[in-house]
Amino acid sequence: MRDFNENNATEGVLKSFESIQNERIKQLMGSIVKHMHEVVKETEPTFEEWLKAIEFLTKTGQKCDDRRQEFILFSDVMGVSMLIDTINNRKHHNETESTVLGPFHAPAPEIELGDNIANNVKGEKCIVKGRVKDVKGNNLPDVSVDVWQSGPDGLYDVQKENNVVDLRGRMKTDENGNYFFKTVKPQFYPVPTDGPVGEILNFLGRHPFRPAHIHFMVKAKGFVDLTTHVFIDGDPYLDSDTVFAVKESLIRTLCESKDPDDGSPCKELTFNIILEEEN
């Protein structure tokens, strides 16, 4: 293309995509270019500002490794992850709503129902239980329930240097669709702020905190995989989750209870799950 200028720039780049055979890629790239060009035309960034943006993306990539995904974190705090999740998980009946996967999911050890997943942290004992059903109310046995959470210190096991797997486990529901495990009471915590995402949150005057929650990934044959959280009622960050993942239907109240094994006092959290059938 000759005489590239601000009036014909977008048209010129889109024309270069005409030979793309994959229609989905052509659609995605065309939309990305049109919106990027519109942002540039609207804001008219200086070369210095554009370089700052490039440096930010470069530092974000450099912060990623096999234990941390800074780009996912960036997507989370910009609300992009939840927007994509919402679009791809529209519910039609009474199915349990989904939320973001988050950057700290990792392979979990197989556990038996009633096992304790908090083996290397100290905190307030908590029993988590529930039943998995379909939209018609039928109990679903032999469903995979994968759970993970941060500790009372606000850290997930993969953020620590000791390489000890903790506060995560994968179990199967019983013949009545029940699951049950022991852990410690979840706490609100900040997302990592020692990288470029922390810098941009600070620059924007936003806090880095997530309300207390436990992650769930639920899978059953013939049903849509579910990735979700259960949130704790009364948490101070429910209305300002830095990754925008809170949904009213996922908030539960902690109740006072007793450990069925030794009778000691503990908290109890009930989170029933309804899966969506595959089409």
Query: For the domain with range 73-275, which CATH number is right: 3.40.50.720, 3.30.1330.10, 2.60.40.1940, 2.60.130.10?
Result: 2.60.130.10
For the cut 90, the answer to whether the pLDDT of residue 68 exceeds it is no
Q: How many CB atoms lie within 10 A of CB 217?
A: 17
Mean pLDDT, all residues of the chain: 95
Element (H, E) at 268: strand 265-270
d(C-alpha 211, C-alpha 262), whole Å: 30
Asked if residue 115 lies in contact with residue 181, where contact means CB atoms within 8 angstroms, the answer is yes
Predicted structure pTM score: 0.90
* pLDDT number for residue 225: 97
User: What strand order describes the sheet that includes 226-232?
Assistant: 168-172, 144-148, 213-219, 226-232, 251-252
DSSP-based three-state secondary structure for 61: helix
* pLDDT number for residue 103: 81
At residue 190 the predicted structure's pLDDT band, cuts being 50, 70 and 90, is: very high
Of 19-23, 101-105, 196-200, give the lowest mean pLDDT range.
101-105
Residue boundaries of the structural domains of the chain? 1-44, 73-275
- What's the 3-state SS for 154-176? CCCHHHCCCCCCCCEEEEECCCC
Distances in whole angstroms, Cα of residue 173 to Cα of each of 97, 136, 154, 222, 225: 19, 18, 28, 16, 15
d(C-alpha 187, C-alpha 196), whole Å: 24
Q: How many CB atoms lie within 10 A of CB 228?
A: 25
d(C-alpha 19, C-alpha 25), whole Å: 11
Q: What percent of the chain has pLDDT over 70?
A: 100
Q: What percent of the chain has pLDDT over 90?
A: 89
DSSP-based three-state secondary structure for 144: strand
CA angle (83 as vertex; 226, 13 as ends), nearest 5: 125
